Structures are given as C-alpha cells and as structure tokens.
Amino acid sequence: VTIPSSTTVTTEEVVTIPSSTTVTTEEVVTIPSSTENPGNFTWLFEPCRGPDPPTCPPGVPPLILLSLDGFRMEYIDRKLTPVINRLKECGIRTPYMRPIYPSKTFPNHYSIVTGLYGESHGIVDNSIYDMELRDRFSLSRPSKFDPRWWQGEPLWNTMKKQGKKSASFMWPGCDVQIQGMYPDIYVPYNGSISFEYQVDMVLGWLDLPKEERPEFISMYMFEPDTTGHKESPFGPELPPVLARMDGLVGKLMDGLLARRMDQCVNLVLVSDHGMQETSCSKTNRLDSWIDVNNYYIFEGQAGRITSKYLYKNREYVHVDNPEPADNITAHLECKDERLLVYKKEDAPKRLHHANNKRIDEVLLKNKDKWLVFRKGSYNCNNQGAHGWDNNFDAMHALFTAHGPGFKSQFDMEPLENIELYNMMADLLDVEPASNNGTKGSLNYIMTSPKPQPIREVSDVSCSGDFQSDVVTDCSCDNLRNLTMKSESELNEQLKLTAEEVTQSWSKHHPYGINSPNSSCYFVQRDYVNTYNAQFRMPLLSTFIYDKMPSVFPSDCVRGDPRAKNGRNCSDFISEEQNITHAFLYPPGVSATDDGRLDAAITSNLVPMYNGFQSGIWKFLYDVLEEYREHYSDIHVMVGPAWDYDADGKPDDINNITQLVQDSGVPIPSHFYMSMIRCRVGDSVQQCTGELDVQSFILPHKQKVMNCMKSIDYLQEHVARVRDIELLTGFEFFVNTSFEDAVKIRTFLPGHLWSRDSWVEEPCMEEMKCPAGFSLPPVILVCLDGFRADYLLRNFTPTLGKLASCGTHAPYMRAVYPTKTFPNHYSIVTGLYPESHGIIDNNMYDMKMNKRFSISSSEARNPEWWKGEPIWNTLQKQNKTAATFFWPGSDVKIKGMYPNYYKPYDGKISYQARIDQILTWLDLPEGERPDFLTLYFNEPDLAGHIWGPENKPAMRDILEEVDGYIGKLMNGLLHRDLHNCVNIIVVADHGMAETNCDQVVVLKDWHYPLNNVYVWEGPFGRIANKYKYSSGGMAPLNETEQTPTSKILDDLKCKSEHMKVFDKHWLPKRHHYANNDRIDDVILDMDAEWLVGRYSYRGCT
C-alpha cells in the first residue's frame, strides 16, 4: 500500500513484508491482523520470573530496543507508569543511565546503537557545521541523510555484516545509508504515524517467518520529549502523556504475552536524556561581553563558539585569520559563575567532547537550568529543555531491561549509554565493532554473558646496577636536621629484601595493574612508583593514606641510585614558566623519617606549575585529609598524563611540544588521582565488602579555570577509572574479579564523597565558640513561602536535622495578610502591619499620594517604613548587623542602614549569598556582625509557578534549598562555629493551590467599579476614597465616594467563599485596622480562592 507520507496509517490495512524490502515513507506497511491480542491478556499482572532463565525456543531470542525520547529517570517515581515500574521491578533496576554530552537527541540515540561518544561517531550535537564538508547538519535539514556525517558502525550494520537481520522504526540514523547499508527493514521518521500503529508493526515483524524475522528491532517514540519541551517536566499536560507512553509499553508487553513471548524476548527500554525546566530569569547574553558578529555561536544549554567561520548573507564564510581560542575564553571566562567557558581540550575529560573537528574550539557549558544566547536570538519562555552536563540529575535517562538474557529482579549501578552496544551485541551473538564502551561492563546483569579473557598482571621491577655514587645537581642542605644517616646509608635502605617487596606490593598494589610499555616499578616501603624510562619520571604512585601528613622541605632531594639516566632537579625548574618539581608521592605522608627520606628522590619528581601545586593540588590533598578523618584509610593512585591533542589517549613523547625550558622535560597536560575506600565500615586494607572509588583528572594549569570554587572544580573534573586508563595506558584492578573490576572502572560518581557534613554530626550538647567570639552570632534565615508541612515530605534532611536537634514548632503563624513584605518586616520589628506601615506588598498612601509595590523604587522611600528594625536596635546599642536581601534592609529607616547590607538582586546565586554570610563571620571581632540575615526567594517562586501540591516539581526546589542550608551549616562546621552560632530558620508565609475555577469576579454581579479601587488576589481590599486613573491613583472628593456601608450591603453574602468586612469589624486577631493605608472594606477569601474586578490575571 502506498500512501502519502503525511497520512496517518491505521492498522486495518494488511501488507506482508518481503524479507528483502525496506519500508520507506512511500511504502508504509501495516501488519497482519493476527497481531491483535485475542486473549485480552494484561502482562502487568503477570508474576515476575524466578531466578532461573525461562525455557525458550532454540536460537537467539529477539531483542527489542525501545526509546522514549526525553523520559527523565525521575518520572518513574511519579506513580504514573505502572507498566514501566513493573518492568523495572521484575527486570533490571538502576538509579539512572547517563547520556553522553551534550544530552541531546541525535548524539545519544546514535551512541546507544554504536557504543561511541559523539566525538567518535561524528554526531556531536543536534546542530553542527563541518568545515571540510562545508555543510550544516540539523534535524530539519536534508543534509542529515548524507552518510558522511555518520561515522562508526550502528548495530544494524553489525548484524547485517554477520548475516543477521534487523529492523528499525524511526531510530535516528536508520534511514541513512551508513557504510553503504540500511537495516533490512526500516521506517524513516514520520511524526504522523501513531505510536499505537508503531507497536502493532513491531509485533507484526515478530510474526514473520523465521527466515524473514528480524532478530534486532529498534523503535523510537518522540514523547514525552515533545510535551516536556512545551510544558517543562512539571507541566500539567505531562502526566497524561506519561500515562499514555506507559500504556504503549503495556500494549507491547501484552502483545508479547499473547504470543507467549513475554519471557523469550529481550526488551531494553531506554531514553536518550532527561528534561529540565527553563526560566527567562536564567539566561546569559553574550552581547554583554563580546561583539557576537565576530563569531558563530551555537546557543542554548550546551553552547559552542568559533571564529573560524561566520554566517553572512545566508551562507557560511570561512575566516582566514580566526581569533585564537585563548582570546575567546579570556573574553568570557569568569563573567558569570553560571557559565563555564572552556577551550575544548581543557573541558572535563569525562565529557569526551573534544576529539572531533566538528566540535568548535570553545565550549559554553551552563550550570543546571541556565542558558546562553545572543541578544534577540532567543524567544524566552518558561518551558523545558535538555543538553546540559550529563552528570546533572535532571539529564539522567531511563534504563531498564527484561527478558531471558537478563537477570530477574536485579539491582545494578548507574551506567553509561555507550555500554549498551557491547551488551546488545552479546545478546544477539555478534562480534561488536570497535567502540568506546568497556567490553563486558554489563556482564553482571546478564544471565549468560560471554566469557572474558583472563588478564595478566605486569609487575616488572626496575632492574639495573645500583649506583653507589649518584651525580645530580640535587641537594639537601638541611639533611642533618632530618636524620643522622648519611646519604649513602639512605640509599642503601632503598634496597628491599624480596619479602619486603612482597609486603609493600601487596599493601600498595593490592588490586593489580598492567602498565604502559617502557615502564617498571620502584618499590619502597611506604609507596610504589611506576617509572617510565622514556619520560624518565614516574607515571604513577600508589600508597595508603592513613595519617595526617607532616611538613617536609621541598628542596631536600637526592638522586635515586636505582634509576638509570635519571634527571637533575634543575630539569624540572623554570622561573620564566613558573614551574618547579613536585613529589608525586608526598614525603610527609610517611610516618617515619626514613620513610619520608625514601620519597625525597629524583625518581619521585614530576614538573608542576607553582600555581597548580599551591592551589587545586594542595586543596585536593586537604580534601583527602578530610576523607581520611571521616573514612579511616584511603588507597590513593596518582600521576601525570599527557594529552595535548585532546584525543583522550596518551601522547607520543616525540609529539609533545610543551616542555620545561632548557631541559626539555615534557610538562604534563593533566594530573589525576583515584581515591579508593571501603564502601561500608572496614579499613580499605581489611575491606571484605565493596569498594568505592572517586577519581579526578585535573587540567594542569596555573590557576583554577572559570574562577570556580575549589570543591566545585573537583566535582566538575570528576572522572571514571576507565578515563584514567584511556588517558595513561594503565589497566587497573586486574587482580580483582572481572565483574567487580569492570563496575569499579566504569563508575562515575554523581556527587563527591561526604566530607565533614554537618548532617552527620551529633546534636550539640553545649555551646562552644572558638577564640574571638565573646558573643554567639545570630543568623536569621528566611525561606520565602516555605509551607510548614514541606518539612514532612522528607526532601529536606538538613532542615530536618535542624528541627530534631534544635527547637521546632509545628508551624509559625504569619501576620495578616500572609504576604512577603508585611511578614518580613514584622519578623524584624515585632510589629503588626497596622503598626509598622507595610500593610501589603502593594498599597497606596493618600497623604503621601504615592503607591508602593515591592518592585518599585518607591519601596526604598523610608516614609513607608515605621517602627524600628532590629538592625537599628543593634546599632543604637553598639552592636553590628549585616543583612543579605532582607526586605527593608536597603532602606534608610530613621536615617540608618545596617552596618553591612546588600540591595536585592535576584541574579545573585544562593551560593554567593552563603559565601558572603560566611565571609562576614570571618571578620575579626569588632568588625564581625553580631546579627545576620539571609534571604532565599525559594520555594516561593516554585510554589507560585507549579503549586505546592506538585510534589515532583517542589521536590527539586526543596532539595535545592535544603542543599544550600546544608552548605551554610557545613561552612559553619569547617569554621568550628556550628556549636556557636544561633541560627533561626523561618518562612514569611505558606502556599496554597489556586485555579481559574475558584475566582470571585466582582463584575459578575454588575457591581459598579468606576469610583472604587479593588486590590485583588487571595486577600482583597476595596478603597472608596481613591480610584485608578491613567496617571496613577486619583483621590475622590466626598460626593464621588461610595459609602462604605453601601459597598458592604452590595457585596455581603454574594459568595460563600468571600467574607466582606468593614475593617473595624474584622476579627481582632488579625490586628488589621489601625492604619490609614488599610482601606475600609476587606475581602477575606476562603483558602484557595481569589477575588478580582473583571478577572484575576494571576490565575493559573
């Protein structure tokens, strides 16, 4: 049947599929009627399979790979997807699957079926320009069908090369003749084809005769991505879409059950990426910092910028003398903490987003939820998007698997989508093409994985003549202050007995290692170094970190008598380059003088920039020390790496051009460190349980890039052990069981290990302040709109800990009306609004003839603000106050400001606010504030946008706010102030749901509104002494005024959801009458109801 590509196809047209045909947009093929489910089975209620594999027909079970585009992993926690949850319950369970970077549709779908990163398969983004092809790739351009864009080998080609059949329904790339091949059966993308039809067709393919039936089927559905973009991941239209997609998975499983294939087909259910909300307030405009006309810019969540080509007069123009990437980064770096700017070779290695000419030379990497654009190029909306860092929680993708090839009811670690290709090839019994995945990495989730080759350990000791007299320019002038032994005696103790070598090796290299060529091992009692004869320096040092290091002089070095053709100390030093030598194994880690001096040798030296050594490298060891205190001993692997060509592999020494002047010593491009601890309880040296690993690959720079905080920089450059292996040529954990080793090597931590977390501290038993704190400071923190029952949702562990350890009330009652400014000012004055004058967020004063609103400049007029805020009280009594964004604190009330204050600026990040509070606390006594305020505008904003009952949306923001309170408490802990500072956490009011069906509209009663002004919302006031005019508020003379009694008579009892009061008869508990700014008539609304004149524009 041939139909136009735009026509929707039903399942009523029957066409059989010859084994040699492909399905194009001109040959839309339907399925046999036998695909219907005659028994009306419901797989959802079938029991999970037991631990034993099911009995299935001979041969390779079919494999179905199903992608639900943009299915954020967190969606399965929303109780809208019972079938997907049941698949997860009965099959493979994982916290998430990590997409590749950028977390976009085409790169990730192609990675799933090739096992390659975008830099390897060429689809580096949804939008690309290739200077060699002189063409642009995008999802909407016909150029996407050019096979030259698509590198690597997709699984359907692997199948065809090995005589097996495959079929694909709209999978990105399936309609491109890659390597001269298509899948045996394929349907190009056609958005008009229904999802239901797609499921029916796939089931029909399984009904084909054996010789025609595909063994591998890939199918793609564009939801919930489309709705997520339109509505955000928390939009009201998303739940029915999630339910629909779950129903389609159920339809597929029911179809398999009807064929008695539900236990004999392997189903891999995935998504390409997650989804995150965007906001018009979270955008950076490049125009502020550069002339954008000089560059071509790929905008959005994961941006790129180049000066090598421009787009002019509707064509791409190549630039003869492009601006160097260093210059571009210099223009943009540190302009905004939410925008990270990298030369692509300096980007975190875990991203694997550099080694392709299609990746432009400068990457614009945004913090979560933030976007980067040129002025006028972005139509701002509050919707949904993806593309951010693949380690962000919201970008995490769906993965679960079910079938005879998978273990039943099995929990696994998070995985990367590049690992799926090898796994699927094994399930289909084909040999995979070369790829970026780690072969066998997912064997542990499979019932019958292919055996892996036995790995051999290389432990070649550095052999050679021991030189009794080593001639170098190294020296140790203060040796006599460190030991009574002579240099020759120290050298002799480097000669270990065979038993000592075995003991040291088993302690410092317990997991086994394979090393690069030309490498051997120098074994000391306290550490083992892997030494490379070509580089003439160590490539790896391994040791146990189990004590606080002592100080050891860096200028005390002697030659290693074991190292042939060793280096001089001066070989590592260049004042002009600001580079010096550093000990790879820090001598201070050793517990004895002999151990420390065993490390003060040239075979333990590497070249290191001074700024790197005293900056991030020192900080990394400070963090390591905190981990030691927290977790006992840590096994450490540390070393240099050279990757100037940014291919993620070790450079040939002959091609390295970054050298120490005069000596020619190769300067590392990176340094790495892996920390290994016992996951539960034991010392790492006696660990009988699982190991936990945390690794870093740090660019070797004089300073931290992007002005990042050191701990954030470590999180940014976290890495897998496998990334270090690729970068260095080492292979680690070869003595460990293959299953355990591959899990450790491919694991990427989503978050750093906890270090001195306040949440894990015991509750305070007594106040304890460090020296210099004669009076415990008070910090008043407000979380705007934090409803009291949010605390019961268990999303806020830090606030929960504060409540359990301190004083906690079920709730605090706000003043009336429950608005932001009135309540904030009441908290710091102890006055009701009728007394302090801020009677609402919006008001009019007839005597002043001025209008107040929270966003107007008039809000800083001190005439509005009565009473005495506590910062004034403190200054009057010779104490010091500091405020960060507290309403009223940027107003000169009674001629005074707080000693330190920040005018409100919503663009200032929460982290910056916390840092400022901690900086104020670091001031010396006499300058340090006694009282500090800290204000967060969340969760109020999220509550207004999503409603307090939208628990998935509120969970994100509550966890975020709690995390920042945790950072504040950790900052106090690290200053030993956690048992000294009095911290008070409050909210100004709660939050209730609203909807457009619960609005009392005054015009519905034909009420005359000409000579009154109505203040609308969840609480209303009617003013009869002024009205609104085009020039502002206009006072009314007595003859124009509507009497208060008439307004009351006209409106009383009109709606059961609205109580109408003369303000003097309002319940006394409200304390809301004794101020001329309070209008005479009060409209007191029921919970969740609103009042408006003609409508209420805030209704959502």
Q: Give the CATH number for residue 681.
A: 3.40.570.10
As a whole-number percent, the residues of the chain with pLDDT over 90 amount to 76
Instruction: Using alpha carbons, select from 1026, 1019, 1024 the residue that is nearest to residue 1083.
Output: 1019
Residues 252 and 363 in one domain: no
Structure tokens at 799: 């606030």
The CA distance from 51 to 90, in Å, is 10
Whether residue 130 is contained in a domain is answered as no
Structure tokens at 341: 């700017």
The CA distance from 854 to 890, in Å, is 12
CA distances from 965 to 454, 707, 737, 757, 883 (A): 50, 23, 42, 12, 17
The CA distance from 380 to 902, in Å, is 28
User: Could you tell me where the beta strands, DSSP code E, fall in 160-215?
Assistant: 166-169, 185-187
Residues 771 and 908 in one domain: yes
The CA distance from 1094 to 1099, in Å, is 12
Whether residue 314 is contained in a domain is answered as yes
Q: How many other C-beta atoms are found inside a 10 Å radius of the C-beta of residue 1039?
A: 5
Residues 270 and 287 in one domain: no
CA distances from 761 to 59, 165, 683, 754, 802 (A): 57, 59, 21, 12, 11
Whether residue 421 is contained in a domain is answered as yes
Residues 267 and 313 in one domain: no
The CA distance from 328 to 306, in Å, is 8
pLDDT at 1026 over 70: yes
Check residue 612 and give its pLDDT. Answer: 97
Q: Which residues contact 486 (CB under 8 A, 6 or more apart)?
A: none
Helix (H, G, I), strand (E, B) or coil at 52: coil
pLDDT tens for 514-526 read 888 888 999 999 9
The CA distance from 571 to 563, in Å, is 15
Check residue 471 and give its pLDDT. Answer: 81
The predicted model scores a pTM of 0.76
| Average pLDDT over every residue of 758-787 | 92
**Banded pLDDT at 324 (limits 50, 70, 90):** very high
Helix (H, G, I), strand (E, B) or coil at 73: helix
Structure tokens at 159: 């199948």
Q: Which residues contact 28 (CB under 8 A, 6 or more apart)?
A: 1, 2, 3, 5, 7, 9, 187, 190, 193
Structure tokens at 337: 């903490």
Structure tokens at 795: 């999303």
Residues 704 and 644 in one domain: yes
Q: Give the CATH number for residue 953.
A: 3.40.720.10
**Banded pLDDT at 6 (limits 50, 70, 90):** very low
pLDDT at 30 over 50: no
Whether residue 878 is contained in a domain is answered as yes
* DSSP collapsed to 3 states, 573-585: CECCCCEEEEECC
Q: Is 105 among the residues known to form the active site?
A: yes
Q: For residue 887, give the DSSP letter.
A: T
Residues 220 and 261 in one domain: yes
Whether residue 639 is contained in a domain is answered as yes
Q: Which residues contact 646 (CB under 8 A, 6 or more apart)?
A: 344, 345, 354, 355
The CA distance from 490 to 468, in Å, is 11
Which is more confidently placed, 976 or 407?
407
Q: How many residues does the chain have?
A: 1100
Check residue 964 and give its pLDDT. Answer: 93
pLDDT tens for 343-363 read 999 999 999 999 999 999 999
The CA distance from 442 to 418, in Å, is 11
Of the candidates 953, 980, 1007, which is a domain's last residue?
A: 980
Residue pointed to by tokens 């670690």: 413
The CA distance from 373 to 300, in Å, is 6
Q: Residue 697: phi, psi to the nearest 5?
A: -125, 110
The CA distance from 61 to 406, in Å, is 11
Check residue 1097 and give its pLDDT. Answer: 66
Check residue 974 and give its pLDDT. Answer: 80
Whether residue 471 is contained in a domain is answered as no
Residue 482 CA to chain centroid, in angstroms?
48
Residues 190 and 261 in one domain: yes
Q: Give the CATH number for residue 352.
A: 3.30.1360.180
| Average pLDDT over every residue of 405-421 | 96
Q: For residue 1074, give the DSSP letter.
A: S
Task: Classify the C-alpha dihedral 605-606-612-617 as positive or negative.
Answer: negative
* DSSP collapsed to 3 states, 504-545: HHHHHCCCCEECCCCEEEEECCCCEEEEECCCCEEEEEEEEE
With contact defined as beta carbons under 8 Å apart, do 910 and 964 qualify? yes
**Banded pLDDT at 765 (limits 50, 70, 90):** confident
Q: How many other C-beta atoms are found inside a 10 Å radius of the C-beta of residue 206?
A: 19
| Number of domains, the chain | 5
Check residue 459 and give its pLDDT. Answer: 66
| Average pLDDT over every residue of 699-712 | 94
Residue pointed to by tokens 């970008």: 395
Structure tokens at 552: 């050891």
Instruction: Using alpha carbons, select from 247, 230, 235, 270 the residue that is nearest to residue 73.
Output: 270
β-strand 371-373 against 283-285: which pairing, if any? parallel
Whether residue 435 is contained in a domain is answered as yes
Check residue 281 and give its pLDDT. Answer: 83
Instruction: Using alpha carbons, select from 783, 1086, 814 the residue that is nearest to residue 963.
Output: 783
Q: Which residues pair with 135 in a beta bridge?
A: 130
Check residue 41 and give its pLDDT. Answer: 55
pLDDT at 253 over 90: yes
Of 231-235, 268-272, 799-803, the range with the lowest mean pLDDT is 231-235
With contact defined as beta carbons under 8 Å apart, do 360 and 304 qualify? yes
Residues 489 and 410 in one domain: no
Of the candidates 952, 980, 1008, which is a domain's last residue?
A: 980
| Average pLDDT over every residue of 388-392 | 96
pLDDT at 14 over 80: no
Q: Catalytic one among 22, 94, 105, 883?
A: 105
pLDDT tens for 171-206 read 999 999 999 999 999 999 999 999 999 999 999 999
β-strand 135-137 against 128-130: which pairing, if any? antiparallel
Q: Residue 133: phi, psi to the nearest 5?
A: -75, -20
Residues 793 and 822 in one domain: yes
Check residue 688 and give its pLDDT. Answer: 82
With contact defined as beta carbons under 8 Å apart, do 828 and 870 qualify? yes
Residues 959 and 1003 in one domain: no
The CA distance from 344 to 360, in Å, is 8
Q: For residue 358, give the DSSP letter.
A: T
Structure tokens at 636: 């450490």
Check residue 26 and give its pLDDT. Answer: 34
Q: Which residues contact 698 (CB under 8 A, 6 or more apart)?
A: 612, 616, 617, 620, 670, 671, 672, 673, 713, 714, 717
Residues 637 and 565 in one domain: yes
State the distance between the two ends of the chain, measured CA to CA, in whole angstroms: 47
Instruction: Using alpha carbons, select from 420, 17, 430, 422 the residue that is nearest to residue 184.
Output: 17
Question: Whole domain around residue 339: which residue ranges?
Answer: 283-380
Of the candidates 737, 754, 771, which is a domain's last residue?
A: 754
Average pLDDT of the residues of the chain: 91
With contact defined as beta carbons under 8 Å apart, do 364 and 339 qualify? yes
Residues 254 and 317 in one domain: no
Could you check whether the bond before residue 224 is cis, i.e. omega within 30 degrees of 0? yes
Whether residue 452 is contained in a domain is answered as no
